[in-house]
Amino acid sequence: MGDSILKRIVTSLLVVFAAYAVTFLLPDWTFCLLTILFIGMALHEFFSIIEKKGLTVYKYFGTIVGMLIPIGIFLHLGGGYANLEPLFIVMACLFSFVRELAIREKKNDHLTRVALTLFALFYISWFFSFFIKIKFLEDGAYLVAFLILVTKVGDVGAYFIGKKFGRHPLIPRISPKKTREGAIGGLALSVLVAFLLRGFLPTAPLYHAILLGILLGIVGQVGDLAESLFKRDFEVKDASSNLPGLGGVLDVIDSLLFTTPIFYFYIKLLL
């Protein structure tokens, strides 16, 4: 077994154990804490990638505000406080423009800095914070497990099936190693896992599990390709080396960034 594969397996097992512990065994605040940690690390990785391209962003401000968003959601759902989530987003937008107005030297990339900072807050912090909202739903721990397993099994399956059987590139200009065979295999695995874990969902007809398997399988791969898109744009292979064998936190959660809010609204609206 290669050293890189061994690192990938060991790191994956540690991440899985941490996710299982905070989801099923430990108090809700530990789940929130792990979510905040992942968001903070992912934001730091995202802003660091942008800086390597020579662009300026509000790295530390964006990271701090991004970590406040899940805290506000947790306090609202777990402690009955007012919903501070929209306030943090509005304040981040306001501060970004005030900071641009305060710059004395002449610059031509004001909108770029503001847009990238706010995009990171929505794309990483807000989207991933839906995990906390899901956790506070009825049987939330099982819903979280369903979401992670269906999404990540499809993600991992697409990688290994594509590596073994892949012959036809999926979108070579974005990710040359991703293949159509891998995408189809990953989607099939997502549907299979959703079917096997249908008992984790609230009482509902079987077709909801199948539909969620298809939906999460497709959207998860779109999320993975979305990160590949900007990594290709910024000419980096991995977001960082924070997780040995896996790359960075952003590389691990990329497929979950879109599936998490979509899964939440599917549950709220249809189940």
What percentage of residues in the chain have a pLDDT greater than 90? 53
Mean of the per-residue pLDDT values for the chain? 89
Cβ atoms 125, 43 nearer than 8 A:
yes
pTM for the whole structure: 0.92
Q: What is the pLDDT of residues 192-248, one digit of tens each?
A: 999 999 999 987 789 999 999 999 999 999 999 988 888 887 777 777 778 887 888
Q: Which residue has the higher pLDDT, 10 or 258?
A: 258
On the question of pLDDT at 43 being above 90, the answer is yes
Q: Which residue has the higher pLDDT, 236 or 148?
A: 148
Q: Which residue has the tokens 């959703």?
A: 194
Q: Which residue has the higher pLDDT, 131 or 171?
A: 131
Cβ atoms 260, 131 nearer than 8 A:
yes
Within 8 A by CB and 6+ apart from 255, the residues are 151, 152, 154, 155, 220, 221, 223, 224
On the question of pLDDT at 2 being above 70, the answer is no
Give me the pLDDT at residue 25, please.
Answer: 95
On the question of pLDDT at 11 being above 80, the answer is yes
Q: Helix 206-233 crosses helix 256-270 at what angle (to 10 degrees)? A: 150
Q: What b/e string do you get for 195-204 counting C-beta neighbours within 10 Å, with b at 16 or more? A: eebbebbeee
DSSP 247: B
Q: What residue type is 11 in one-letter code?
A: T
Distance CA 153, CA 207 (A): 20
Tell me the C-alpha to C-alpha distance, in Å, between residue 80 and each of 26, 74, 125, 246: 20, 9, 21, 37
